[in-house]
Amino acid sequence: CKCNYISFIFLSLGTGSNILSALQDLFWLLKSKAEKQLQIISVLQWVLTFLIMGIACTLILMYILCTDCWAIAVLYLAWLVFDWNTPKKGGRRSQWVRNWAIWRYFRDYFPIRLVKTHNLLTTRNYIFGYHPHGIMGLGAFCNFSTEATGVSQKFPGIRPYLATLAGNFRMPILRDYLMSGGICPVNRDSIDYILSKNGNGNAIIIVVGGAAESLNCTPGKNSVTLKNRKGFVKLALRHGADLVPVYSFGENEVYKQVIFEEGSWGRWVQKKFQKHIGFAPCIFHGRGLFSSTTWGLLPYSKPITTVVGEPITIPKIDNPSQKDVDFYHSMYVNSLIKLFDKYKSKFGLLETEVLEVN
């Protein structure tokens, strides 16, 4: 009887251990599923912000003006007039917003990674050329407008400013949201202020290819619109800001786009929008909200790896000649190609892959 009792205890312990193990497995499964849902929600809110927040906030403000709460809208509009030039003067970044937990879920959805190759001196200012644009510049936003990938730890003493369309800063509420992440207008006034009146250790991130480049982005294609984009080089020379090539492997993989051929009606419409409004409407799709096999607005969860290259030392020339601009532009293009060639095989591309510069 005593032996049977001891055997029963060991059997019970074994059964309890199995139950505990099963409960632990269930807990981790539920936790993993919850984290995936949070990742989806974090990306969805950003996509909706990118697409409709500006228009939605404008309409809401107009609606409030027609209600009993009109005083709130008037006060905000008065503040808007008073604060109108703040985006041109370095903005109003918030470390609290940049460190929101939601950005870590955003990062892990793809995932997004920032790779440092060289140290940056805090006694210099920089212009980062970000390539390629992709549909929404997801890697540029996550790496430089949030702290999700540790940009401040990897480049201590450097303040990143992601430059985007100036029109976004005319939209109520959206402008404040963008500034909180350290985003600034991509215009001469804003860039001149940051590089000349904001001390040293500033890095302006310019998506050089812009809207024109977004029209050609598609999975499997590595091309940049750069051959005739020289304005950022001239700005660097005028301020003596070092140029830093940045390539984001995987940026073109997260959305699929309908590419219109040159000369087609679709490309004509896109170019007209680009010329008069500043952005080009793209027909694209990602995955659905509830299934990766259906179409929707969510990007596909493909890895994005952003590699920050070696800085090119740029002299300060108040009135650079075209020859000066061409010389340093050529250096920049060669540096970008070398960066791509050095890291392409490490991040999923074939050794034979070539970067197309248009």
pLDDT bucket at 25, cuts 50 / 70 / 90: low
> Does the residue 149 lie in any domain?
yes
In terms of Cα–Cα distance, which of 258, 271, 46 is closest to 140? 46
Residue 10 in any domain: the answer is no
Q: Is 331 part of any domain?
A: yes
In a domain, 17, yes or no: no
Residue 7 domain-assigned?
A: no
**233 pLDDT above the threshold of 70:** yes
- 305, pLDDT greater than 90: yes
Tell me whether residue 26 is in a domain.
no
In a domain, 36, yes or no: no
Q: What are the tens digits of pLDDT across the range 120-166?
A: 999 999 999 999 999 999 999 999 999 999 999 999 999 999 999 99
Residue 243: per-residue pLDDT? 98
Percent of the chain with pLDDT over 90: 75
Quick one: pLDDT at residue 10? 46
pTM of the predicted model, to two decimals?
A: 0.88
pLDDT score for 52: 92
> In the chain, what's the furthest Cα-to-Cα distance?
101
Using CA atoms of 140, 165, 184, 314 in order, give the dihedral in degrees to the nearest 10: 70
pLDDT at 29: 63
pLDDT, mean of residues 34-60: 93
The more confident residue out of 125 and 29 is 125
> How many structural domains is the chain composed of?
1
Higher pLDDT, 152 or 216: 152
pLDDT over 80 (residue 1): no
Boundaries of domain holding 205: 41-357
